[in-house]
Chain A
Amino acid sequence: MAVQDANNNSKSKTQSRIAWAIAFLFAILQLLITLIPFVFMIMNSFRKQFDMLQQGVFHLPDPWFFDNYGTVVKAGFFGYFFRSVIVVAISLALTLIISAFAAYPLSRMRFKLRAFIYGGIVACMSVPMHVTLIPIFDMTQKMHLYNTLLSLIGPYVTFALPMSVFILTAFMTTIPKELEEAAEIDGCNKYKNFFSVILPLSKSGLSTLAIYNGVSMWNEFAFANTLLTDPKVKTLPLALGQFKGEHAMDIPLSLSVLTLSVAPMIILFIVFQDKLVKGMMAGAVKG
Chain B
Amino acid sequence: MTNQNISLVKVRDTVLVTMPADPDDVTVTTFQEDVLGAMEKYRPKGLVLDISGVETFDSFFARTITETSRMVAMMGGQTVITGMHPSVAITATQLGLTLGGILTALTVDRALDLLAHPHPRRRLR
A and B bound?
Answer: no
Q: Chain A residues in contact with chain B, CB under 8 A?
A: none
